[in-house]
Structure 1
Amino acid sequence: MTSVMWFRRDLRVSDNKALYHACKEDDLLLLFQVNPAQFITGSPSHQAFFASVAHFKQEVDKTALLQIMFGEPVECLKQLKETLPSWDKVYFNRDETGYGAERDEAAKTFFDEQEIEVQAFHDSYLHSAEEVKKSPTEYYKIFTPYYKKWREEIKETPFKVTLKADNIRKENLFPKYEEQFAEMTCDLPILDSGEKTANTRLANFIKHDVADYDKARDFPELDKTSHLSRYLRTGEISVRTIWQALQENEATEGRAIFEKELCWRDFYNMIYVSFPNQKNEPIQENYRFIEWENNREFFKAWQEGKTGFPLVDAAMRQLKETGWMHNRLRMVTASFLTKDLLIDWRFGEKYFQQMLIDYDPASNIGGWQWAASTGTDAVPYFRIFNPTTQSQKFDPTGKFIRKYVKELANLPDKYIHQPEKMSETEQKEYGLLLGKDYPFPLIDHKERRKLAIARYEFSKEHSRGNI
């Protein structure tokens, strides 16, 4: 009889829990199913993911074969069963939220009908949503008590996995899909993909940056964050491997802060499980009646990095150029969109979904609801980041701004955060005409802050039936 290892967001051999168990089988087929609806041409997020799939296939095919199939999940499974009648067991690492959870539920029905034994594992997080709860029937809603309980839980150690050619099928059952996949991914850059690259990134971060992570993480010009999020998104590195590497190094405040970031990742996954509609609806009922302006020109200016606020513009251009954005800047740009421009956070979340190469649904949705003050344990609605103050504090010399907003490169430090302060004479002197070479600020932050607070307070009163 034949077993199938079904890969998803776990594009690695090392420390892959489902693969660890699947490799004990005598006859094993390795599968990756591509849903064409999930591949959006031109989307940096999707292109990066499938570049990682292509790299993973290259590596696997050196020893065995990663069977590629195209189509809706259940239709692919039916086709595979018809082609491979001996298939009687499936291994995979399950998803708890969103599209992945819906896919797994539909697949389970098929497996039950076909009497295919299912071996599903929790693999993507240090703790699944069910492992850290307030009570058997209640999830946490506040991070601090969740974090305290999370710290007390024992963390799994990595699983040692080795692919052996003698028990893995190498016959390509669907050559047409192989050709289709090769055509789809032929132009995608795969140089920064793969387990080896991810593990090198981890080693460098621990060696050079983790000890001072608490001091340096908020300054984008220093670039001292781990950059591991893109590899966690694809599963090219496991969170267990990261945790184990951290424990083997000196306990510092930087390490503790980074470990807390891993807990936030688990926390947002748990929140998504407990509130599965959070991609479409604010968690807090108080803020479901906010009167968003949703100005299209403002939204376009925000997307293109042309708001007239240098740090916001630099961050948005970094996203557009690289598919990644520094975490501090994700908070700044999200706060600016929702509270300065009064644009619904769901527009921003969807744009980040399209653009981020490290897009993780639970973390991205959770982060946007946090910034918009609509989520659980979110920033208070009256705490509104001042984009100029943030710029002065976290990019004091303007080095990051100058890198991405090149038209501001020649400005002196005293104007780099507020170009609009220049006189006409100074604009000519520095070769930057406001309104032509760089926009005036879209809005007056002080006035928009007052308006945003009023809108949030109105929504709160409306939800309570007072209006």
Structure 2
Amino acid sequence: MRQLVWLRNDLRTIDNSALHHAMQQGPTLALYILSPVQWQLHDEAAIKLDFRLRNLQQLAERLQLLNVPLIVTQCDLWQELPQRLPEFCRTWQVSSLHFNAEYGVNEQQRDRQCAEQLEAAGIRVYRHGDSCLFPPGSLRTQQGQMFQVFTAFKKACWQRLHAAPLRSLPPPVAQAPTGIASQLDAIQPYLAHNPDRERLWPAGEDAAWQQLERFCRQDIHNYQQERNFPALDNTSRLSPALACGVLSVRSCWQRALLANQGEFDSGSEGVVTWLTELLWREFYQHLLALNPRLSKGEPFLESGKRIPWRNDPGQLHAWQQGRTGFPLIDAAMRQLAATGWMHNRLRMVVAMFFCKNLLLDWRLGERWFMQQLIDGDLAANNGGWQWCASTGTDAAPYFRVFNPVTQSQRFDPKGEFIRRWLPELAHLDDKQIHLPQHGHDLFSGSYPAPIVDLKSSRARAIEAFSRANGSLNSLSS
């Protein structure tokens, strides 16, 4: 009887818990299930799906070297899987199924229902924790509660890591040939074959490891000083690989440690800062796993339900299309549209502008990001948007409102990033480019006027959030 490893967002052979344990138990097959209708319901970006399937093609070749055949099939909706998987296992003479856990509420429900049906059919099911450094729920406060403040969560992670350093799994060893050929024909209709996209976002474990190695050798030590300047682009750009599981978070953590003599809480500021970003990712994964409402479009804070979000389709469209009249905002949104990716500092700036200055519902922005991002990740995207909207745990206080012009002057002082994405402003000088003055002789008029006044919109947001928080206080008193 065979083992089956069910691959999802873990498209790698290196440091893959489900694959490792399946191969330890016996002859192994790999399964990937295309679910295009489900992906659409979850607002998966087309560029992310293309990246995922290109990685799946590359993974098939690496699995072939291990004599593990990959079977790709299609099941449009996850609700059909509890019936389909037992049939698949009987057809391929599978006795055990291995998979790595996912933490969205729909994903957890899918896995629970599939496990029940498989076990009822006499097929053993093994669930592995692989997308986090620590199993969600294993880090608790002294009162036994989930951490709601990131700094305390980080300290708990550090304590655990000092006590028990992370260990990666040994490289997989090829099994005996199974005599079964990989079946990949189902992928072909979904591949876009876009050379520009493939050049910008190369697929495969080799490409991801080369990128990790370059970052840790060349840029990580300057990460703290340069990460907020989008024109420098001194970030790792590894988020797409992490979102699809082409790299494990453990591998990223351990490679960064090598660049800092094994330290994660001292030494190189750049390394410590980058590792802290990985812990933010961890924090949001744990929150998602333990708070199902985060998967259902609900704010973490009760006061978030009382914010009077505005309904303004025109301003929503202007924001989506990069036509707000604020150059840094618009350049960031055009970068997103063109590449499927946005610099992390700019994600915060454009999200806070959306939630505070425009006073538009953060869920609309969260959904738009998921529909555009190559690295769209439910936990990180939700956590980032709720942080900016002041509706999440350990979020920015509601009276904190980034000024996009000040942010532009500080983090793109020469307008290099703006000129790259807004060529219609390239002729302006380094001062004018941050907020073009309409009617000025140097201004061509092809760029829109600001769609909102920063001062009055900030005051409007603070009043709205203050009322929401005030009503919460009166209810609890």
Same fold (TM over 0.5): yes
Displacement of 1:39 after TM fit?
A: 4.0
Q: Provide the rounded CA distance (Å) in 1 between the counterparts of 2:142 and 2:386.
A: 25
Q: Is the 8 A contact 1:45 1:353 kept in 2?
A: no
Find out whether 1:27 has 2:33 as its counterpart.
Answer: no
Q: Secondary structure at the match of 1:209?
A: helix
Change (3 A) 1:413 1:139: same
Q: Secondary structure at the match of 1:198?
A: helix
Summarize deviations over 1:343-396 as a string: whole Å, max 9, x none. Answer: 100000011111111111111100000000000000000000001000000000
Name the structure 1 match of 2:283: 267
Name the structure 2 match of 1:372: 389
Match of 1:43 among 26, 42, 46: 46
The one-letter code sitting in structure 2 at the alignment partner of 1:97 is: G
Name the structure 2 match of 1:296: 313
TM alignment of 1:269-288, pairs within 5 A:
269-279=285-295, 280-288=297-305
Match of 1:134 among 141, 146, 150: 141
Find out whether 1:381 has 2:398 as its counterpart.
Answer: yes
Match of 1:149 among 147, 156, 165: 156
Summarize deviations over 1:256-312 as a string: whole Å, max 9, x none. Answer: 111111111111111112221124111111221111112101011001100000000
Name the structure 2 match of 1:181: 187
How much is the aligned-residue C-alpha RMSD, in angstroms?
2.0
Q: Provide the rounded CA distance (Å) in 2 between the counterparts of 1:365 and 1:168.
A: 42
Find out whether 1:65 has 2:65 as its counterpart.
Answer: no
Name the structure 1 match of 2:82: 74
The one-letter code sitting in structure 2 at the alignment partner of 1:456 is: F
Name the structure 2 match of 1:254: 270
Q: Is the 8 A contact 2:28 2:68 kept in 1?
A: no
Aligned length: 454
The one-letter code sitting in structure 2 at the alignment partner of 1:274 is: L
Match of 1:243 among 235, 250, 253: 253
Q: Provide the rounded CA distance (Å) in 2 between the counterparts of 1:438 and 1:105.
A: 52
Q: Secondary structure at the match of 1:342?
A: coil
Normalising by structure 1, we get a TM-score of 0.93
The one-letter code sitting in structure 1 at the alignment partner of 2:279 is: C
Displacement of 1:168 after TM fit?
A: 4.4
Change (3 A) 1:449 1:127: same
Name the structure 2 match of 1:4: 4
Change (3 A) 1:143 1:82: same
Displacement of 1:335 after TM fit?
A: 0.2
Q: Provide the rounded CA distance (Å) in 2 between the counterparts of 1:110 and 1:136.
A: 37
Q: Is the 8 A contact 2:23 2:175 kept in 1?
A: no
Name the structure 2 match of 1:234: 244
Change (3 A) 1:168 1:137: farther
Summarize deviations over 1:405-461 as a string: whole Å, max 9, x none. Answer: 1111111112110102x544232xxxx11xxx1000000000000000111111122
Displacement of 1:190 after TM fit?
A: 4.8
Query: What's the % identity of the aligned pairs?
Result: 35
TM alignment of 1:306-321, pairs within 5 A:
306-321=323-338
Q: Provide the rounded CA distance (Å) in 2 between the counterparts of 1:216 and 1:225.
A: 8
Q: Is the 8 A contact 1:143 1:377 kept in 2?
A: yes
Change (3 A) 1:245 1:466: closer
Normalising by structure 2, we get a TM-score of 0.91
Find out whether 1:454 has 2:457 as its counterpart.
Answer: no
TM alignment of 1:71-220, pairs within 5 A:
71=75, 72=78, 73-84=81-92, 86-135=93-142, 137-153=144-160, 154-168=164-178, 170-171=180-181, 178-185=184-191, 187=193, 190=198, 192-220=202-230
The one-letter code sitting in structure 2 at the alignment partner of 1:425 is: D
Name the structure 1 match of 2:453: 444
Match of 1:337 among 342, 354, 368: 354
Q: Secondary structure at the match of 2:50?
A: helix
Displacement of 1:466 after TM fit?
A: 6.4
Q: Secondary structure at the match of 1:400?
A: helix
The one-letter code sitting in structure 1 at the alignment partner of 2:49 is: H
